[in-house]
Amino acid sequence: MNSLGFDKSPKDTRVVVAMSGGVDSSVTAALLAEQGYDVVGITLQLYDHGAAVGRKGACCAGQDIYDAHRVTEVIGIPHYVLDYESKFSQSVMDDFADSYLRGETPIPCVRCNQRVKFRDMLATARDLGAEALATGHYVRRVMGEAGPELHRATDSGKDQSYFLFTTTKEQLDFLRFPLGDMSKTETRALAERFNLPVAAKPDSQDICFVPNGDYASVVSKLRPGAIDAGDIVNMQGNVLGRHEGIIHFTVGQRRGLNISARDGENNEPFYVIKVDAAKKQVTVGPKEALAQNKVALREINWLGGDVPKSGIDVTVKLRSAQPPLPAQFHMNDSGSGSLTLFEPTLGVAPGQAGVMYQGERVLGGGWIG
């Protein structure tokens, strides 16, 4: 078996590497090339680069395509750029705008992995005769008794398993994640050893199509006229102020409410408790009103073997940066499910994901309804 699990020599194993122009995917390609694999680099052009060219801390910008090509020249592999701008706009950007207009807090990077990278790019890799598609994600693919499993990365600070919960079993058969056992420090050191021109390039920080984190501006361009003003109310329904569009608010938000932080004799700060798109209304209240121990999930993707007939104990992440919380999960016949948290938690936001684990293994996840 070679290092990717195939019963053949590396030189007889073609691997397509998804190259974003960043250090992680570049090191992935260089590592596999050094090991003697038949490596082909693919970069997706996902959107109109104009406003993002040269912007530090972005991914998928015009500069990134150039950087990916420079890397492939250094390591000596072929490189193809595929125009996916229309598909990305329909599958990811439109969903992002519509999700905000429903009062949700979307995660477009998950949708991009689900609808573009791990679906269309994977199909392209097969068309090119590849045995596998490799990415620079910090996550591990571990062989279990019933086949490959998705596990958290060794470096918990870089683990990206939360963003890959929609990965299907069939996709996991084809995917490889060479950086899953590495730290970012080790990856940077390898980039320097390989003399890659992106060795010192900053990590991506923003959503690629959202310049400077200005979500409202992007949504207003995608959905002209859809951002309407409305009321900010307390939990009793009393109007406390006005807002310029629900897209400026997410559950758990404290800043930017533009209202007094007083409610009668209560001097506690207000938090966003609910965003009601139909009423164009934002409800605010005290921090304790955010506490929930019941969470509904929809569009569940299950990777944990047989679907449990009854409740199963799990740990769950309800935000990407949140530590896993102990809970019990129940799956419904409709493909949805529910979580009962052992202790109430704050700021559960529709549109985010609930990703479930047993130990280091990803059992699956769904969208918070």
Catalytic residues, by residue number, are 112, 208
Classify strands 312-317 and 292-302 as parallel, antiparallel or unpaired.
unpaired
Give CA angle at 368 (367, 369), nearest 5°. 110
Q: How many residues does the chain have?
A: 369
- 225-230, long-range: CB < 8 A, 24+ apart: 226/97, 226/101, 228/280, 229/280, 230/279, 230/280, 230/281, 230/282
Phi/psi at 310 (nearest 5 deg)? -130, -170
CB-based contacts of 306, cutoff 8 Å, min separation 6: none
Residue written as token pair 């420090």: 185
Segments in 14-144 forming alpha helices (H)? 23-34, 62-75, 85-88, 94-101, 108-112, 122-127
CB-based contacts of 123, cutoff 8 Å, min separation 6: none
Token code pair at residue 63:
């500069």
**In this structure, what DSSP letter does residue 71 have?**
H
Which amino acid makes up residue 18? A
Which amino acid makes up residue 258? N
How many Å apart are CA 150 and CA 161, to the nearest integer?
8
Give CA angle at 193 (55, 36), nearest 5°. 105
State whether the Cα torsion 358-165-162-23 is positive or negative. positive
How many Å apart are CA 313 and CA 330, to the nearest integer?
9
Q: Report yes or no: 134 and 16 within 8 Å, Cβ to Cβ.
A: yes
β-strand partners of 14: 38
